[in-house]
Structures are given as C-alpha cells and as structure tokens.
Amino acid sequence: MSKVIFLADRRTDRPASLTPGELPPQGQPALDQRARPLRDLRISVTDRCNFRCTYCMPREVFDSSYTFMPHSALLSFEEISRLAGIFTQLGVEKIRLTGGEPLLRKHIENLVEMLAALRTPQGRPLDLTLTTNGSVLARKAAALKSAGLTRVTVSLDALDAAMFQGMSDSGFTPDDVLRGIDAAADAGLAPVKVNMVVRRGLNDGQILPMAERFRHSGHVLRFIEYMDVGNTNGWNLAEVVPSQEVLDRIGAVHPLVPVESGEMGRVAERWRYADGGGEIGVISSVTQAFCGGCTRARLSPEGKLFMCLFAHEGHDLRAPLRDGATDHEMARILAGIWSARNDNYSELRGRNMADPSRKIEMSYIGG
C-alpha cells in the first residue's frame, strides 16, 4: 500500500495530503514520516581536520595511514550551491557549514558568497552559519563576514592549555581560539556561540571557569553532552555529564532563569543569568532526546545525504548531479528521500533500542 505524504499548509496549519513523488506546492516545506518539516541543511565541506579531538578523530584511527577523500571526490562549490538552492525550494531556511574543519577547505569564503546569494521562496536570505574549531578563524573572520556569513559557532572545550591540548590533540592553544572568537565578534559575526563538549573526569572541572570567562562577554556558551557518534571514540555513558548537572553547578554560583523559545528544530535549551550576565545554552542530546523536532538534513563532502547524525547509510546525490539531472529531477529525489525519513536514534537510545553499529563518523558529517 502506498503511503500518503503530508505537507504542512502554512495558511491553515492543517496538513494537506499529496500523492507520493509529488513536489510540495511552492513555499511549503516537505514533511517526513513524523511530520517534521525540512528546515535545516548541514553541509560538511571536508573530512580533514587540523585537530585530533579524542572524542571525534582519535589519532590511533586518524593517523598518517588514514585515507581521506581525494579532492576530485568532493562536491565542487558550484555543485553544493546548486543543491542548496534546490533545498531552499523544499523548505530549507538555515544552512550550517561544517566538517572536518570547514576553514581548511580552500577559498571557503567563495562558497559562503554563493550560498549568501540564495533566497527562500518567500524571498528571504538564508540564515548562514559555520561551525569551526577556531584555530584559523582570527585570519578568516573578516572575509567570511564580507562574503555574507550570518553567524559563527566556535568549539572550545577548555581554557586550561594542557587540558585543551590533550583533548584536541593538537599544537594549538586556547588563546588561538579565543583570538578567533574575538575576531569574529569584531567582524560583526555576533553573538558568537561557543560549544563545549563535556566529558566527566576529563574537562568537567572547566565548566565553571568557562562560564566565568564568557559571562558578560556577549558570546553564548553552550554545553554539549558527549555523544556516541561514530564508531571510534569508545563512548561510555558514564562519561556523559547530564545538562541538568551543568545547570546545577553553574546555577549554584550564578542563578539562572530559563529563556522560552518556541522555535521548532532548536537543539539548545536557553538559560540566562538572573543578574544580566548574558545567556548560556545546554544541548542534551543524550539525556533529553529532541528527535521530535529534528528538522535537519546532512550533506557529506562527497554528496551523500544523511537523514540522521547516527545513520548507517546516505543517499548518493553526486551521481545524479553529475549524470545531468535537472533541478526539477533533483528536487523530486530530495523530496522523496525526506518524505520517507523516519529516524529517531536518540529516542531509541533512551529506550535501549538503538542499533549502535556502523554509524558515520562525526568528522565526516559534521555536528
């Protein structure tokens, strides 16, 4: 029996049924099997990185004998922006560039410029952001801003230099990253979001120093629960520090007040300091699954489309692209993939029902 695909009707807020394979009427997003609209696209532009974070690219696996993708396998900027344009016709309003380390992809600002020129069917520019380890952001921030980047998220797991170097397994220092954060804010990419992955027994002692450092800074520090992404980081539930514990630890020193946000697809729960010291966020991917509001599709560097961070397999878009598919044909392929989507890994993990084998690596698909 064929399934009916539902599309949200923004004027009435009632779902409208469509026959399978049909494209959404102009201006309406495709919905998946759980009635989640397609809103966000995360584009990983490289599988390479100049860090070897132990929770993402452990050096034992990603060593000198590891084979990264050849440049010819990667989608070109033209291919990426063409696909992104088709995605906007299906509901995407927000694009995040990621990796690997996206700032290692040569002339990334040219891609930013191409994406910044795209418009939604309603004529609005996209929310265009990028996640970086910050190592080379100080010299790239101004060019990224003038190319049209809206905002930036910078990862920083510790202020303590030895701990930072241990976790990132790199020769960079927290000061290199802090200089990048300042440069981004100076360039107008504010507020800068700062992501800290917390691992119990490793950097949880940095929760308070990080909170103090970013209070009153105008930047928004976000604490991320350590996730079981990929197959190489030896994840262990005992190393996860629940977001509630992070909030308790900070709130005991600086009282916190929740910030309401009704936005679907938002992963971070927002809190503000009661004394006006600014805002923080917590991302509770392990203790409070948010699959029900997951509106994200993920594109890999060589053009595979993944429906979940924990997926086993992607859908090859590069082949039809390079075989000459028209925009209309590509749109039908994308709409078909999204409307068949039923992923909810984190909810299943919470019920001990997830299949943890053969997941894609975080450094390949991005966060």
Does 363 bind ligand SF4 (CB under 6 A)? Our answer is yes
Q: Which one-letter amino acid corresponds to residue 212?
A: E
**Using the rule CB under 6 A, which residue among 46, 54, 89, 98 binds ligand SAM?**
98
Strand boundaries in the chain, DSSP class E: 5-8, 15-18, 40-44, 94-98, 127-132, 151-155, 193-198, 220-225, 256-259, 269-273, 279-283, 296-299, 304-306, 315-316
Q: Indicate the residue among 6 and 290 with the shorter CB distance to ligand SF4.
A: 290
Q: Which of ligand SAM, ligand SF4, none is residue 343 near (CB under 5 to 8 Å by kind)?
A: ligand SF4
Does 241 bind ligand SAM (CB under 6 A)? Our answer is no
Does 155 bind ligand SAM (CB under 6 A)? Our answer is yes
- For residues 51 and 172, the answer to whether their CB atoms sit within 8 Å is yes
Tally of residues, the chain: 367
Cα distance between residue 22 and residue 351, in whole Å: 35
Cα distance between residue 246 and residue 224, in whole Å: 10
Q: Which 252-291 positions form the footprint of ligand SAM (CB under 6 A)?
A: none
Q: Indicate the residue among 57 and 189 with the shorter CB distance to ligand SF4.
A: 57
Q: Which of ligand SAM, ligand SF4, none is residue 309 near (CB under 5 to 8 Å by kind)?
A: ligand SF4
Q: Total residues contacting ligand SAM (rule CB under 6 A)?
A: 21
- For residues 222 and 282, the answer to whether their CB atoms sit within 8 Å is yes
Print the binding letters for residues 89-118 with ligand SF4: x by CB under 6 A, - otherwise: ----------xxx-----------------
* Nearest distance in Å: CB 99, ligand SF4: 6
Bridge pairing between strands 220-225 and 279-283? parallel
Q: Is the dihedral of CA 168, 172, 178, 179 positive or negative?
A: negative
Chain contacts with ligand SAM (rule: CB under 6 A): 49, 55-56, 98-99, 101, 131-133, 155, 195, 197, 224, 226-227, 229, 233, 362-363, 366-367
